[in-house]
Amino acid sequence: MKGMSVLFDEDALVLGIETSCDETSAAVVRGGKTIMSNVIASQVDLHAKYGGVVPEVASRKHVEAIIPAVDTALHQAGVSLAELAGIAVTYGPGLVGGLLVGVSAAKAIAFGGQVPLVGVNHIEGHIYANFLEHPELKAPLICLTVSGGHTDLLYIPAFGAYELLGRTRDDAAGEAFDKVARVMGLGYPGGPQIDRLARDGNPRAVELPRALSQEETFDFSFSGLKTAVLNYIHRERQSRKDGPLPEELLADLAASFQAAVVEVLSARTIEAAKEKRVRTVVMSGGVAANSLLRQEMSGAGAREGIAVYYPSLVLCTDNAAMIACAGYYRFRRGDRASWSLNAEPDLRL
C-alpha cells in the first residue's frame, strides 16, 4: 500500500465516511482542519413517520446513498481518489447494518485506489468536531458527549487517551429529548423542536426532578425526569377530558424539561473540570446543539475561569468531516486498519 510512504502533513487529504445512524455522510478534510466538503444525506424525513430510526430502513437507505455521497464529496472538494492520503470510516458504535455499509464501501474504495484506511470510533469523531474549528485546543480537557445514544463525561489527559468519569445510568440525554417530544406530539428528532418551543416557555413553571444531584457521582439519569413529564401530561390531559393541551402549557413544559436536563449536564461537567483542575471544557454530540446548554455551560465556565468550546451546529450532529478529522490524527499516530476491519456496534472508547 502507498500508505507507508504517505506523510500525514498539513496538506494531507482525508476522506471521511459516516453511516452509524440515520445520516449518510462523506467529507474531505485537509490537514485535519480545513473542510473541503461535508456532504450529509439525512434520512430524518424517512424515519419521522415512525417516530424514530428504523434500523432496517436505515441500512437500505445507506446502501443507496453512500456512493453518490462519496462522489459528491470528492467532486465538491475538487479532489480525485489518487490525491487522497487516507480514508477514515466510522466502525462503531452504532447500528450494525449502517456501519457495515460504510465499512464495506470504505474498504472497497481504499482497496481499489490503494489508499490507506483507518477505523474511527463515532464518539471520538464527535469529540474531534471541536478540533476542526479550534485546532489550537490542547489537552488536558474535560469533554461532555451528549447524543441520541450517549451521555458520557470524559477526562482527556492527552490526545487519544480517554478516562470515563461518568455516564448515564439509563436514557441518553438526546433519547430523553426525543421521547419527551414524542409524547408532547412534537416531531422527530425531538431535541430541536423542544429547543424551539422552550423559547416561549417559563423554565420554572413545572417542577421536575434533578436525578442524582445529591449523590457524589459524575453519572447521569434521565428516566425519572422523563416519567415525571409523562405523568404531568397524562394528568393535564385527563383534567381536560382528553382534549388538546394549550400551547402555553406545552411551551412551559418544554422549557422546564430542558432546564432540568441542562442544569445537571452543566453542573456535573463544570464540577468535573474543577476536580481534575482542567481549564478547558469541550462539548460534542447532537445535544451540544442545544441553545440553553451552550448558554449555561459558557456562563458557568466563565464564572469559574474555565473556557468552554462547542462545535458549530452542523458539526454537532452526525457528519463525516469530524470522522475525517479524527482519522487524520489517528493516521498521524501511525494507526492503520487491516482489510479485516469490521463493524463493531458496541465499540467503546
203 is a contact residue toward ligand KG4 (CB under 6 A) = no
Residues of span 94-153 touching ligand KG4 by CB under 6 A: 147-149
Q: How far apart are CA 285 and CA 291, in angstroms?
A: 13
The smaller minimum CB distance to ligand KG4, of residues 77 and 181, is found at 181
The smaller minimum CB distance to ligand KG4, of residues 38 and 147, is found at 147
Plot region of 49 (φ>0 → left; ψ -120 to 50 → alpha; else → beta): alpha
The smaller minimum CB distance to ligand KG4, of residues 119 and 189, is found at 189
Site string for Zn ion, 315-344 (x = CB under 5 A): ---x--------------------------
Q: How far apart are CA 191 and CA 149, in angstroms?
A: 13
The smaller minimum CB distance to Zn ion, of residues 251 and 288, is found at 288
Binding partner selected for residue 119 from ligand KG4, Zn ion, none, CB under the kind-specific 5 to 8 Å limit: none
317 is a contact residue toward ligand KG4 (CB under 6 A) = yes
DSSP tag of 91: E
The smaller minimum CB distance to ligand KG4, of residues 86 and 191, is found at 191
Q: How far apart are CA 229 and CA 314, in angstroms?
A: 29
Q: How far apart are CA 323 and CA 268, in angstroms?
A: 27
Cell of 39: 456532504
Residue 151: partners with Cβ closer than 8 Å, 6 or more residues away:
145, 167, 168, 172, 173, 220, 222, 265
Selected binder of ligand KG4 within 97, 191, 301, 311 (CB under 6 A)? 191
Angle at 171 between CA 322 and CA 192, to 5 degrees: 55
On whether the CB atoms of residues 329 and 85 are closer than 8 A, the answer is no
Q: How far apart are CA 305 and CA 308, in angstroms?
A: 10
Give least dist CB 186 to Zn ion, A: 21
**Position 197, amino acid:** L
Residues of span 147-176 touching Zn ion by CB under 5 A: 147
Considering only the stretches 102-110, 173-181, 265-273, 312-320, report the one whose residues sit in contact with Zn ion under the rule CB under 5 A. 312-320
In SS3 terms, 177-195 reads as: HHHHHHHCCCCCCHHHHHH
311 is a contact residue toward ligand KG4 (CB under 6 A) = no
Binding partner selected for residue 174 from ligand KG4, Zn ion, none, CB under the kind-specific 5 to 8 Å limit: ligand KG4
Number of residues located near ligand KG4, criterion CB under 6 A: 19
Give least dist CB 146 to Zn ion, A: 10
Q: How far apart are CA 97 and CA 80, in angstroms?
A: 28
289 is a contact residue toward ligand KG4 (CB under 6 A) = yes
Q: Percent helix, strand and coil across the chain, each rounded to 5?
A: 45, 20, 35
Number of residues located near Zn ion, criterion CB under 5 A: 2
189 is a contact residue toward ligand KG4 (CB under 6 A) = yes
Binding partner selected for residue 191 from Zn ion, ligand KG4, none, CB under the kind-specific 5 to 8 Å limit: ligand KG4
Cell of 119: 477505523
282 is a contact residue toward ligand KG4 (CB under 6 A) = no
Considering only the stretches 51-59, 85-93, 145-153, 175-183, report the one whose residues sit in contact with Zn ion under the rule CB under 5 A. 145-153
The smaller minimum CB distance to ligand KG4, of residues 123 and 156, is found at 123
Strand-pairing partners, residue 28, are 15, 37
Binding partner selected for residue 190 from Zn ion, ligand KG4, none, CB under the kind-specific 5 to 8 Å limit: ligand KG4
The smaller minimum CB distance to ligand KG4, of residues 116 and 286, is found at 286
DSSP string over 318-346: S-SHHHHHHHHHHHHTT----TT----TT
Binding site for ligand KG4 (CB under 6 A): 21, 147-149, 174, 177-178, 189-192, 195, 285-287, 289-290, 317-318
